[in-house]
Structure 1
């Protein structure tokens, strides 16, 4: 039995090689791996001795040789194959232990050049892996050091690697090479600044953790991270306390973080089931927390709280008085962390770069039955120079500030979405209704129930999309709304404008819709 070993990640390779030699396996090796084995006293044949051809071009060519690939691809059950390699005096290779040039770690380095990245694209390694994997019934191919023990155990107890294990290893190889090639393609796309949606879409992710279940207990789930630097992303958060994050925790927290990233001033966002339930901004983070909490004391129970400033002791004391699933902030006062840790189940996450927005070139994807719909992320909010006051009544500066605040919020409210804002605090949010007037009236009803009868009086209303009729304006007037911001663009816009003029309500069109389904 012969094994070809050529690895960049040399974890456990010396121990494995020594065990293989003890089992009577002849070792063939290359370059740095051969030198490492030789230093450790492991008997091995250098690849050039096998091929009769020296390694050349700085090691770019060493295993790309018929002696290697015929030895891997010859089917032992095919008499013609065996006759051919016997006539050519080529011996079979029964095991391949290969992992690839460190392309991922290379491109993750600060200041890496394109030349460095390209030099770390492995050619011979993937070729050997594919050859060996194609002939899996005769060749055991190992790409992951975590499988060394499994292979050794079978060799010791069964005198061979079982066909079932070989098939498992084959699958692992093609998953590995697919991942490797996708990383290369993705890197080159970014290097070219190619932001077009390609004819074929390949992506690669690495598992962060398995989960107990998905949205519901009968669904399987796992959390994956995109390969590459993900600054300000939930995948890089440090967890200080609590159970592992669930599928719903991650989904809801990500939604809260997306909204939070729209703000630079001290802001706190409360979120429940992917929708904001309370948002507040202020000069000081404690005041922002009070606004967010008071916006909807009922819905925040069992919800998510994210803050773009350090969590203080005073905030932690008040947060600990209610049931929260997850808290995320860039940092915590020492006393605050101690207080929050008193509840063993609350997930307390630290995300240092919480304010960093997602790249505008990122993709938003939704799986549909049999396919995938893909779009660029909604990275814009509005162009302030495009604001158009369409009513006789002009908004005050304070109303304009609340309008901007409201658009930041309603951008992340499930459509049809309405947000009512007063003094940089949400006083009502109406998400996900099948028509806009239902979202609007629900918003007003909840505001009155949760905050008080005059909660919406002199407030600003923000809508994610235009008004098809004037019924929203009519309802807004009854609720005491004095200013409205919406995209505009409906065939019946004039009806809403006329109704605003009738009631002295200021209305601004942004020209930019923010559906979120």
Structure 2
């Protein structure tokens, strides 16, 4: 192996021990600019890039290593005679190792008030070229792009006296991942600049994700799992939550925490209603089993739990308000598998949960105060070998656009419950029918293959509470069966999208039984 290294790094952390090990094993070291100064100050013998190329850095340092004397030494194939002849003819010495890390583009664009010029100057050109060249020629050159790789290089050198082909190949793969990530960050930043038009559904979709943590297991204990996040994503959400206590969550718990956060985030649309500024939900298998709004933290949570206390056992709790000690005591009244909320309202709350759940180590997460998702947000649904990209369902609900289609009108006092129920059903798995009253779900029928099946489940759960309540369906009712069943249970108002060729059957049934019915003109499927 050629014992000649080239270093050009922005982050110089940990570089000296690697260079020292190389030098102790007889390697020569070339380096550029600030990297050369850093190594020289550490007592490492360095040949500067300018000495190698015979050409100074130009354009304010934009061009330093882009030179045949450098790239020829990296790309030369030492088992190919014509390459050896070229290197000899031009006096180019080959390299055995190239160490590069790039300008901090992502860090730069996250800084408040960063200018376009600052961002552009932190787009690395020469470094990326060095990395790609060295990775391409991994049979002869080791490419080092991450501080965490230094110890692996040192270990290989000490054990084998060289950097093995197996490690060189692994490092090359990691190098291309590094440059792909870097280019994607630049691509996404460019797409956000003024005057740049990006289609809603681009021909090529590149989605970067960064590891947050490995999970206890995936959906089932025999599956492995990990949580990733979009770089730079700062909206309060489960991927940005901080775990303050408890065991490492499973993928199922993370999925339920996410469903909970997004459900109570939806309730921000009720902030203009007096006494409905707080929301609590219990999630089980990615769908709500109890949801409530109110103005008292502990009462709001208890309403959500008692909406379906049987299903709440072993569920996940999401709140859009800080946890106080009283609410913490109620949370500990049953087994829960996770809690997420915007922090704690007092010093006792976390301790209450820790004391009660010392053995179970229930994962507790905190997030900043929730805000609505930005307009233009998209969501993804993965299918085998691909994904579906669609607009997030963020279109504002406009009650004035909804139509009462029955002889009986909706009492004024029911409209806020209608809005609450519609916002709630947007987060219930289809086919879904729910029963709501006084800012609380009383029955939730979800995931059924027939609408009447979902309706019967919701009405059965609601029991006597269905009298005078509102029944909401996420899709149209193609027959009169749902309305008829609702009437038997004392439902006062039915809300559905409408749009069936058989709408008249439902309207006639509602009129016959003295129910009010509202057509929303929009569907709320969630799969």
Q: TM-score, normalised by structure 1?
A: 0.96
Distance 1:290 1:338 in 2: 20
Residue equivalent to 1:341: 354
User: Secondary structure of 2:29's partner?
Assistant: strand
Q: Deviations for 1:111-138, whole angstroms, at most 9, x for unmatched residues?
A: 2222221221111111111100010010
Residue equivalent to 1:495: 505
* Residue among 285, 299, 306 paired with 1:273: 285
2:368 aligned with 1:356: no
**Aligned alpha-carbon RMSD (Å):** 1.3
Distance 1:385 1:2 in 2: 74
Displacement of 1:211 in angstroms is 2.1
* Residue among 73, 91, 116 paired with 1:114: 116
2:499 aligned with 1:486: no
Distance 2:199 2:339 in 1: 34
Give the count of matched residue pairs.
511
Q: Deviations for 1:469-494, whole angstroms, at most 9, x for unmatched residues?
A: 12111111111110122222111112
Residue equivalent to 1:406: 421
Distance 1:112 1:484 in 2: 52
Give unmatched runs, 5+ long, in structure 2: 269-276
Residue equivalent to 1:394: 409
* Residue among 56, 60, 66 paired with 2:58: 56
Q: TM-score, normalised by structure 2?
A: 0.95
Distance 1:176 1:419 in 2: 48
Q: Deviations for 1:387-427, whole angstroms, at most 9, x for unmatched residues?
A: 21111211112211110000011000000011110100000
* Residue among 470, 476, 480 paired with 2:486: 476
User: Secondary structure of 2:312's partner?
Assistant: coil
Contact (CA 8 Å) 2:430, 2:446: kept in 1 or not?
yes
Contact (CA 8 Å) 2:402, 2:521: kept in 1 or not?
yes
Distance 1:114 1:506 in 2: 57
Contact (CA 8 Å) 2:257, 2:316: kept in 1 or not?
yes
Q: What does 1:123-272 align with in structure 2 at a 5 Å threshold?
A: 123-191=125-193, 192=196, 194=198, 196-264=200-268, 265-272=277-284
Contact (CA 8 Å) 2:278, 2:320: kept in 1 or not?
yes
Q: Deviations for 1:257-313, whole angstroms, at most 9, x for unmatched residues?
A: 111001231111111000101111112222211210110111111111111112111
Deviates more, 1:35-44 or 1:261-270: 35-44
Distance 1:358 1:6 in 2: 41
Distance 2:395 2:338 in 1: 27
Contact (CA 8 Å) 1:466, 1:488: kept in 2 or not?
yes
Deviates more, 1:72-81 or 1:192-201: 192-201
* Residue among 282, 301, 311 paired with 1:299: 311
Q: Deviations for 1:73-108, whole angstroms, at most 9, x for unmatched residues?
A: 111110111011101110001100101110111111
Distance 1:162 1:462 in 2: 65
Distance 1:479 1:159 in 2: 81
Q: Deviations for 1:492-514, whole angstroms, at most 9, x for unmatched residues?
A: 11221121122221111222211
Contact (CA 8 Å) 2:246, 2:362: kept in 1 or not?
yes
Q: Deviations for 1:331-372, whole angstroms, at most 9, x for unmatched residues?
A: 21211111001113111111123x222233232112212222
Q: Deviations for 1:176-207, whole angstroms, at most 9, x for unmatched residues?
A: 11111111111112223635111000111111
Contact (CA 8 Å) 1:430, 1:439: kept in 2 or not?
yes
Distance 2:109 2:362 in 1: 36
User: Secondary structure of 2:191's partner?
Assistant: helix
Contact (CA 8 Å) 1:269, 1:280: kept in 2 or not?
yes
2:439 aligned with 1:437: no
Change (3 A) 1:329 1:195: farther
Contact (CA 8 Å) 2:216, 2:248: kept in 1 or not?
no
Deviates more, 1:70-79 or 1:373-382: 373-382
Distance 2:92 2:418 in 1: 77
Distance 1:124 1:318 in 2: 59
Distance 1:288 1:160 in 2: 65
* Residue among 362, 365, 383 paired with 2:380: 365
* Residue among 417, 421, 426 paired with 2:432: 417
Contact (CA 8 Å) 1:387, 1:508: kept in 2 or not?
yes
Give unmatched runs, 5+ long, in structure 1: 449-453
Residue equivalent to 1:451: none
Q: Deviations for 1:440-497, whole angstroms, at most 9, x for unmatched residues?
A: 001112222xxxxx11110011111111112111111111110122222111112211
Deviates more, 1:170-179 or 1:342-351: 342-351
Contact (CA 8 Å) 2:483, 2:510: kept in 1 or not?
yes
Distance 2:383 2:107 in 1: 33
Distance 2:246 2:287 in 1: 23
Contact (CA 8 Å) 1:381, 1:408: kept in 2 or not?
no
2:511 aligned with 1:513: no
Contact (CA 8 Å) 2:302, 2:330: kept in 1 or not?
no
Would you identify which runs of 4 or more consecutive aligned residues in structure 1 move more than 4 Å? none
Distance 1:242 1:235 in 2: 17
Distance 1:461 1:287 in 2: 23
Contact (CA 8 Å) 2:405, 2:519: kept in 1 or not?
yes
